[in-house]
Structure 1
Amino acid sequence: MSITLSIQDGVALVTLNRPEAMNSIDPQSNEQLLEAWEEVSRNEDIRVLVVTGAGERAFCTGADLKKTMPPADSAARLLYGSGARGLNFGSLQTHKPVIAAVNGYALGGGLELALLADIRICSDNAQFGLPEVRVGSIPGAGGTQRLIRAVGQSDAMWMLLTGERIDAAEALRIGLVSKVVPLAALRDTALVIARAMAANAPLAMTAAKGLAMSGRELSLAAGLELERQAFGLLRDTEDRLEGRRAFAEKRSPAFRGR
C-alpha cells in the first residue's frame, strides 16, 4: 500500500509509504490518501490523526512527476463532475485534530500536506519549501492560502516567491512548526501528543477546533458570539458532567463523546 492506516488508542496513524520515491504522491497514493482521510472523519473510534512519512529522508516531496501525467478530463469535469473528489488532497478537511510529524523533506505538495494539520512537529533534519515558482507554476494544493495563515506575511511571501527551502530551526522560528525533535524520537513524540489529545473530550475538541478555524474569518464580536453558543451547547453534555465528577473524585475522566 502506498498509504497505510493503523488505529490504536483512539489515534489513527497515516503513513505515506513510498520511501523509495521520497514518499512523493502518485495517482494511486493520492486516491488512498483521500480514502484514509474519509475513514478518519467517519470512524468514531478515531479521535486524533497523525500523518507522517516512511523512512528517514522525507515526509513527502510532493507529486511524483514521473507518474503524474496531465489528466484526460478537463479541470472542470474533475472538480465538478459526477462523483468528483476534487483535483487533489488540498481540499481535505476533518473536524478531528490532525498532527503532522514531518521527517526530512516536506517540499511542494509535501509541505501543503503538512499545512493541512492543526499541529506540526518535525525532525531536526527536516527541510521545508514551495519551489513551484522555479518551474513556472504555483502551489496548487492550498499552499498559497494556508502558508500565509500559518506564518507571518513576510516569511510566507519569501517562501512562495523565492522557492527556497528553510530548515527545521527556521521553521520553528517563524512558527511553521511547534516543536523540533531528533529524528529517532519524532514518531513517538507525535503519538504521545496524540494520545494525550485523544484522552480529552471529543465534542469539546471538535468545538474548539471549529471555533478557532472559523474565528480567523470572522470579526471578534462574531467569533465571541459563536463561542458563547458553543459553550452553552457543551454545558449539558455527559462528557462535561463526567469531567467535573472525575476532577472531584481525583481520577482520569472517561469521555464518550456524548
Structure 2
Amino acid sequence: MTTLTPTTPPPEGCIDTQVIDDHILLIGINRPAKRNGWTPAMFRQLAEAYTRLDDDPSLRVGVLHAFGEHFTAGLDLPQVVAYLQRGEKLTPAGLVEPHDFGMPGYRRRQKPMVAAVKGICFTVGIELMLGADIVVAADDCRFSQMEVQRCIMPTGGATLRMPERAGVGNAMLHLLTADEFDAAEAYRCNFVQKVVPVAGLIDAALAIARRIAAQAPAAVVATRLNVLKAIELGQAAAVADFVPAQKVLAASEDAAEGVRAFIEKRPARFTGR
C-alpha cells in the first residue's frame, strides 16, 4: 500500500507535489485541519502544479489527491467571499486553470489527470474531480454541490459537466436540492469511474496513472484533446483533426518504437520523442 507523507502546511494550506516513477506528478491538497477548505493561496498553488505538469516534458500524467480524511469540504468562504463579491478570479491569469473549461486568459491542460477522492467531497471538490479525466472514489465518499444553500452559483464546471455525464434530470436533482449523495450514486451518475475501499484509493489511482504513463505520451495527449473537442465543438471538428494529428504522430520516434515493439512482441519503451 502506498503511503504519502505531507509537509506541515501553513494555516492557509498548501499544495504538495511529488514526482514518482519519473513520469507521474502527485498533487496533494494539504490543509487537513480545516478539512482541506480552499483558500486563495491553495488555488494559486494548484494552478502552478497543473502548469508544471504540462510544461515539464518528463511528466506524463497527474494524480490529484488529498491529505487527511477528506478530499475537501469546499471553499473557505470567509477567505474567498471578497473575491466572489468583486468577481475576481482565484487563479492567477496565464496558468493552467484546474477546472479546465476554457476560461479566457487561462491555459487549457494538455496532459491527463486522475483524481482520487475520499471522505467529504463538496462543491469545488466535485468540480475539480469532474475537471479531471478519470475519477477514483473511496467507498466512504460524501458528495454535495451545495452552493444554492449559500446563494452562490457553481462556477467551477458543475453546471456543464453534471448534465453532460448524468443527464439533465440527475444534474438538476443534485444541483438544485444541494443534497448529499454517496459514492454509489456518483458512480450511477458517471461522475466517478471506480469505487474502491478507502485504504486502496491511492494505489488504485496510481495503477491507472501508471498504465497511462506507459503509453506513447504524444498519442495520449492527442487522444485526450480529440475527445474534448468532440464534446465541446462537435463531431465534425474532432474528425477534422484525424488526418493531421495522425500524420504528426506517425512521423515520431515513438511511433517507430511502437512498430518495433509490435514486431518483436514486447512492451514498447516510449521516450516522448
**1:197 correspondence with 2:212:** yes
Q: Give the match for residue 68 of structure 1.
A: 80
Q: Give the match for residue 110 of structure 1.
A: 125
Kindly report which structure 2 residues correspond to 1:72-91, keeping only aligned pairs within 5 A, or say none.
74-75=86-87, 78=88, 84=93, 89-90=98-99, 91=103
Cα pair distance change 1:53/1:43, threshold 3 Å: same
Match of 2:141, as an amino acid? A
Cα distance, 1:68 vs structure 2: 2.6
Q: Tell me, in whole angstroms, the C-alpha distance in 1 between the residues paired with 2:158 and 2:84.
A: 25
The one of 61, 66, 91 aligned to 1:48:
61
Q: Give the match for residue 8 of structure 1.
A: 20
Q: Secondary structure at the match of 2:28?
A: strand
Q: Tell me, in whole angstroms, the C-alpha distance in 1 between the residues paired with 2:81 and 2:186.
A: 32
Identity of aligned residues (%): 37
Q: Kindly indicate whether the alpha-carbon contact (under 8 Å) linking 1:60 and 1:111 is maintained by their aligned counterparts in 2.
A: no
Deviations 1:26-69 (A, max 9, x none): 1221111111111111011110000011122x111211124334
The one of 18, 28, 31 aligned to 2:44:
31
Q: Tell me, in whole angstroms, the C-alpha distance in 1 between the residues paired with 2:234 and 2:28.
A: 37
Cα pair distance change 1:89/1:230, threshold 3 Å: closer
Kindly report which structure 2 residues correspond to 1:13-24, keeping only aligned pairs within 5 A, or say none.
13-24=26-37
The one of 199, 213, 216 aligned to 2:228:
213
- What residue ranges of structure 1 are gaps of 5+ in the alignment? none
Cα distance, 1:151 vs structure 2: 2.3
Q: Give the match for residue 186 of structure 2.
A: 171
Cα distance, 1:223 vs structure 2: 2.3
Greater CA drift, 35-44 or 63-72:
63-72
Kindly report which structure 2 residues correspond to 1:179-258, keeping only aligned pairs within 5 A, or say none.
179-258=194-273
Q: Give the match for residue 140 of structure 2.
A: 125
Q: Tell me, in whole angstroms, the C-alpha distance in 2 between the residues paired with 1:60 and 1:153.
A: 25
Cα pair distance change 1:220/1:33, threshold 3 Å: closer
Cα pair distance change 1:218/1:85, threshold 3 Å: closer
RMSD: 2.0
Q: Tell me, in whole angstroms, the C-alpha distance in 2 between the residues paired with 1:110 and 1:52.
A: 10
Q: Secondary structure at the match of 1:24?
A: coil
Q: Secondary structure at the match of 1:138?
A: coil
- What residue ranges of structure 2 are gaps of 5+ in the alignment? 1-8
Aligned length: 251
Q: Kindly indicate whether the alpha-carbon contact (under 8 Å) linking 1:15 and 1:53 is maintained by their aligned counterparts in 2.
A: yes
Cα pair distance change 1:72/1:62, threshold 3 Å: closer
